[in-house]
Amino acid sequence: MKQLHNDASSENRDGGATEAGHALEKLFALAVVTHQFMEAGLTARGLSRARATVLWNLQNTGPMTQRALAAAIGVSPRNITGLVDALENDGFVARAPHPGDRRATLVDLTDRGRDTVGSLSGEYDEGAARLFAGLADRDLAGFVTTVDHLLERIGQETCA
């Protein structure tokens, strides 16, 4: 590893790209392609990433109030109202009175919402299997370790 760092440092002194810079370029390219791939799959179902996030949360936690849902996905109450309105209009979710608080409304998945999340989950698993097919377990574990490190570093940078 030290040799790689030394090679990259000498390359940098000569005016060339560093290995870290090359890795960052690859990371950005991967982010763009991954984003496009995910958006295409969601758009085909009439969903945005924000709407899909609402569906995933409801799938994982069950019925929630809009306030709890807004907190769970990190958006404002006004924003969640718009998301839930659109999802309800398209038949993915339904609102119902809260059984224990007559002032509150629960949001839950409809059959269409459950079917959609189920198919997205299946496609996610199949896509992951296709994407990482042929990689040795140790290489995949190394990739995960590297991504975890990058996420931690980015988190530190944004908090600084």
Output the CA torsion sign for 102, 105, 110, 116: negative
CA distances from 1 to 5, 27, 48, 61, 144 (A): 6, 20, 42, 44, 18
pLDDT digits (tens, 9 = 90+) for 63-100: 999 999 999 999 999 999 999 999 999 999 999 999 98
pLDDT digits (tens, 9 = 90+) for 115-138: 999 998 888 888 889 989 999 999
**Residue 17's pLDDT band (boundaries 50, 70, 90)?**
low
**Which DSSP state fits 92?**
S
Domains of the chain: 36-159 (1.10.10.10)
CA distance 3 to 88: 57
Q: Report the share of the chain in percent with pLDDT over 90.
A: 58
